[in-house]
Amino acid sequence: MTEPVTPDWVRDAIFYQIFPDRFARSLSVPKAAHLDAWGAPPTPHGYQGGDLLGVAEHLDYLSDLGVNAIYFTPIFQSASNHRYHTHDYLRVDPMLGGNEALRRLIDEAHRRKMKVVLDGVFNHASRGFFQFHDILENGENSAYLDWFTVHGFPLNAYDHTKEPGYGAWWNLHALPKFNIKTPAVREFLLGVARYWVDFGIDGWRLDVAAEIEDDDFWRDFRRVVHKANPETYILGEVWTEAGHWLKGDMWDAVMNYLFTRACIAFFIGNNVDHGELARTSFGTLDPVGAPAFCTAINQLIGHYHPNVSSVLMNLLSSHDMPRFISLARGDQSAFRLATLFQMTYPGAPSVYYGDEIGMAGGHDPANRAAFPWHDTDSWDRDLLHEFQRLIALRKAHPALRRGTFTPIEASDDVFVYLRQYEGETFLIALNSAKSTRRLDLALSGHVADGTRLHEVWTKASVEVESGSIRGLELAPRTGRVFATTVVS
C-alpha cells in the first residue's frame, strides 16, 4: 500500500459543526406553521426552523471567528429535526430552503474561501424513503425487496411492540438498513455521493460508516468522488481506532473521538459528570493525569500515517455527546485548557456551534439547543474572544498546523510539548492542577542553546541554557504558549 494521500486544504482547516435546525432562521425561507419558538427547550421531535439561508446570513460571524470550513449534520429531506431519517437524498429539505438555498450557501461560503462538508447517511434510510415505502405498500410484490433485508411479513414498521421484520440500524423501526450488496443500491448511493460533489460540496462526513462492512463499496466511493474532485474530504464516523479504513484507499480521516476521550480525562478528570459521560459511547472515564494523557496521545498519533493524523477532525463536543463544558460541570478552566490544546495540536480543530459563546447542554436533545442570536446578553464574550485569538494564532503559524509534535514533559498534572516547522518552534505548557507548578524543561536535541522563546500575548520570554529552560512557572489551571517568533 502506498502512503495515504489526503486533501491538503484540511491541514489548514478550522471546522465549525452546525446542526441546521438550530443555528439560524432566515425570514426569507417559508416555514410550516407548527414550529417551536426559537430558543425553546429542545425536544427530540420538535422543529425550531433553522435553515441554510440563515447560515448564509451569518457567514460574516463565522469569518470573524476564524472558521474556514463548515460541517453540517444532515440537510436532506426528512421527517426528523436531525434529518438522519432520509426521505430524499437528492433534495435539500424544503424547510432548510431546498437545493437553491444550498447553492447560495456554497457560493457565498466559497467566495469567503470556506469549505462545505455534508453528512452522508448511507448505512440506512427511513420509512419514508421511496423504495422502502414501496415495500410497505406492496409487500412481497414490491419491486424493491432487495434494497433492504426483509426477514418476513408483516414488517411491523410502526408497531414498536414487535421486532421489525427487516434489518434496521440498532433494530430501530424508523431506520431500515440498506442491503449494500444489491448492485442497484450501490449504484444509487454512489450516484448520490457524486451528485453533491459535482454540485460543489467539498467533503462527505459518513454517518456510522463502520457499519457498512464492505471495503469495496468504500473503495468505489473514494474513486467516484475523487473523479469529481480529487480534493474531496472523506471523513468517517468511528469512535475507536480506525486504521482499517485509513490506509489511503477508503477514507481520509475520522472524527477523532479518541482525542475527545483523552481530553475529557486530562482536562476535566474526576470532576466529570459521570452520569452524562455514561450516556455517551465513551461510557467511563479513562485514567487521569498527564502521564496517562501523554500515553493516550502518543498511541493516537501512532495509530495513523502522518498524512492521516494531519487531517483528523479533532473535536471536544458534537451533536452526539454532551457539550464539553457540561461534562465539566461548568468548569470553564477545563474547557479553555482543552481548547488551547485543540488549537495547537496536529489535525483539524472542530468547534461545535455555540461552544465558543459558552452554550451548555447535556445529552441529546439538550446539546442541540438554538443558537441565541435573540439573546446576545447570554454570550460569554471573553470566551468568544479567546476562541478568536487561538484560532487566529493557529492560522497565522504553519508550525501549529503542519509542524511536528513532540511531548517534552508529562508529570502529575503538567503536559508540555513542542510544535516545530521550517525553523519556527512553539512550546506549549499546560497545567491542569489546582496549584502553581514550577518546571525545569529538558530541551536538548530539540531546541538549541541560546534560543529565546517569547510568550505569546505578553512581553515575557525564556532562554534555553545548557539544554534546558529552568523555573518556568505555571499558574493553576492555565497554559502558556511560547514561540521563537514574536507574536503580537
Residue 47 confidence (pLDDT) = 98
Cα separation, 265 vs 219, whole angstroms: 35
Residue 488 confidence (pLDDT) = 63
CB within 8 A of 488, min separation 6: which ones? none
Active-site annotation holds for 463: no
Cα separation, 362 vs 200, whole angstroms: 34
Task: List the catalytic residue out of 21, 57, 93, 207.
Answer: 207
At 211, list the grid cell.
Answer: 457499519
Distance, CA of 332 to chain centre: 20
Active-site annotation holds for 237: yes
Q: Is 381 helix (H, G, I), strand (E, B) or coil?
A: helix
Cα separation, 10 vs 13, whole angstroms: 5
Please choose, from the candidates 3, 33, 39, 8, the residue with its C-alpha nearest in 3D space to the C-alpha of residue 21.
Answer: 39
Residue 236 confidence (pLDDT) = 98
List C-alpha distances in Å: 329 to 159, 229, 480: 39, 43, 24
Residue 37 confidence (pLDDT) = 97
One digit per residue, pLDDT tens: the chain, 488 residues? 579 999 999 999 999 999 999 999 999 999 999 999 999 999 999 999 999 999 999 999 999 999 999 999 999 999 999 999 999 999 999 999 999 999 999 999 999 999 999 999 999 999 999 999 999 999 999 999 999 999 999 999 999 999 999 999 999 999 999 999 999 999 999 999 999 999 999 999 999 999 999 999 999 999 999 999 999 999 999 999 999 999 999 999 999 999 999 999 999 999 999 999 999 999 999 999 999 999 999 999 999 999 999 999 999 999 999 999 999 999 999 999 999 999 999 999 999 999 999 999 999 999 999 999 999 999 999 999 999 999 999 999 999 999 999 999 999 999 999 999 999 999 999 999 999 999 999 999 999 999 999 999 998 999 999 999 999 999 999 999 999 987 76
Task: List the catalytic residue out of 93, 237, 276, 409.
Answer: 237
Question: Is the Cβ–Cβ distance between 52 and 96 less than 8 Å?
Answer: yes
Residue 2 confidence (pLDDT) = 79
Q: Given the DSSP bridges, would you call strands 348-352 and 15-18 parallel, antiparallel or unpaired?
A: parallel
Q: Is the pTM of this model over 0.95?
A: yes
What structural domains does the chain harbor?
A: 8-123+178-396 (3.20.20.80), 401-483 (2.60.40.1180)
Half-sphere exposure in the Cβ direction for 51 (13 Å, CA): 25
Question: Is the Cβ–Cβ distance between 112 and 96 less than 8 Å?
Answer: no
